[in-house]
Chains A and B, each alone.
Chain A
């Protein structure tokens, strides 16, 4: 009785406080967590701030075109941050904005969001970090700020970052992963992983090889990549691979050749 009462209380609280950590724990219980809804496009204000937000969005979706000198591969920000950085469990910008500054074991420092974005360019885009006070970083930060409107600061939001995978029941197996890849991923990314083009433009992004993210990128970690794949791949068929399939296919993709981690080059 007491137990069912506390469950009822918890679900009531969960409903009342959709952004509270309660929502995150409900997820483990199987209930769907409430996901933050970013503002609609029409809410971008006019004026210089709105212009900066729109510029941030352009860089985000067409990174090679609008920030080409910092990009060293065929990816855009949106290749991983789906729906223009709005999709939950695809490292949404609204989740990132309210999470920084943050201590990161990657460099053992407390980083600002701008510094975190510099890391994206260096590792995921296999390029160079744009200057922190330059237009590229400033506009992506402005775009993130705008998208986080109304989100509580410093409180973990459901759907932030990538999905945290439950531990694999058996060790991720790249050979099994290859079979999953061929059945579910090769249609778009190619059996060779090099992506697919349309009229000379990149259409489906390369998932390994010289034009993909480098070994220092977040997705070069099997657990991160497995979480991304589990919730988002194939597009529109998220959460259709089993956890084990997601682990295996991530192990396969991350076992393939890709550019070296720039921190380890010298």
Chain B
């Protein structure tokens, strides 16, 4: 037997590993995004599967009326992590749980790639923002409530809450129903997919009014053009 043949299997594993970990080539990423778009639009072909766009819309604007989050342009890794959390039961999400259980790992990668790649304008929220709550929320967001051991939100969610990829999602321009519900989930329900319990502790220490205020403040802002990106002066051209 040829010597090089015997070493082949030994080499194959690291090579395969390398390719599976390497960043996707543009062509691979493109086909993943296309697959994700299809799932977002039609579900994943399993009978009875639900399309993501039913609640998140095709371009990820979400649905403020039911508190379904805006997900357009969140980091790919973050979206994947959240879906896996819902599947594993570490992220409290009674509606999502029934839907994502049908998704394979590849499906999840695909929808994450799709929604990370799309951009969409902010949708109208369910009610006008209360100026007093916005003012209080802004204080907590930018300066923190250190007496209660609550650091400024922007320290981890980025300047103005535009996110710090890949682990910290943007929260500016998110709808208020969703932000408030997540703070409550972290504080009292079974959302425990936050690293080191950081959000669980913070959300618990905020008062009900403060949670509401923070939600109103971040919801009152415009979403970033993409996660972690500063706002650009509008050129009148839709980035996508």
Contact = CB atoms under 8 A, between A and B. Distances in A.
A, B: real partners:
yes
Interface of A: 82-84, 86-87, 184, 187-188, 196-201, 203-204, 234-238
B67 interface: no
A198 B195 contact: no
A198 B165 CA distance: 7
A198 B162 CA distance: 8
A37 to B, nearest CB: 8
Given A86-B146, A236-B149, A198 B155 contact: no
B133 interface: no
B151 A235 contact: yes
Interface stretch (B35-43, B174-182, B196-204, B213-221): B196-204
A42 to B, nearest CB: 11
B121 interface: no
Contacts of B195: 187
B167 interface: yes
B89 interface: no
Given A83-B144, A184-B196, A235-B156, A203 B201 contact: no
Interface in B45-103: none
B228 A198 contact: yes
Interface size bucket, B side? Answer: 20 to 34
Contact of A196 (B149, B164, B197, B202): B164
A193 B84 CA distance: 28
12 contacts: A82-B146, A83-B143, A187-B167, A197-B164, A198-B165, A199-B228, A203-B158, A235-B155, A236-B198, A236-B202, A237-B196, A237-B201
Given A83-B144, A198-B159, A199-B228, A238 B149 contact: yes
A168 B151 CA distance: 29
A159 to B, nearest CB: 12
A233 B229 CA distance: 27
B223 interface: no
A81 to B, nearest CB: 12
A236 B150 contact: yes
Nearest to A184: B196
A237 B151 CA distance: 10
B230 interface: yes
Among A84, A196, A200, A204, max chain B CB count under 10 A is at A196
A203 B158 CA distance: 6
Nearest to B147: A37
Nearest to B154: A203
Given A204-B164, A235-B151, A199 B229 contact: yes
B163 interface: yes
A198 B149 contact: no
B141 to A, nearest CB: 14
**CB-CB nearest 6 A-B residue pairs:** A198-B158, A199-B230, A83-B146, A198-B228, A203-B164, A198-B164
B156 A188 contact: yes
For A84, A184, A188, A199, the residue with the greatest tally of chain B CB atoms inside 10 Å of its CB is A199
A235 B157 CA distance: 13
Given A234-B198, A235-B151, A235-B156, A201 B230 contact: yes
B230 A187 contact: no
Given A198-B162, A238-B149, 20 more contacts: A82-B146, A82-B151, A83-B146, A86-B146, A87-B146, A184-B196, A197-B228, A198-B159, A198-B228, A199-B230, A200-B230, A201-B230, A203-B158, A203-B159, A203-B164, A236-B151, A237-B196, A237-B197, A237-B198, A237-B201
A240 to B, nearest CB: 8
Contacts of B151: 82-83, 235-236
A236 B148 CA distance: 9
Contacts of B144: 83
Contacts of B230: 199-201
Nearest to B205: A236
Contacts of B201: 236-237
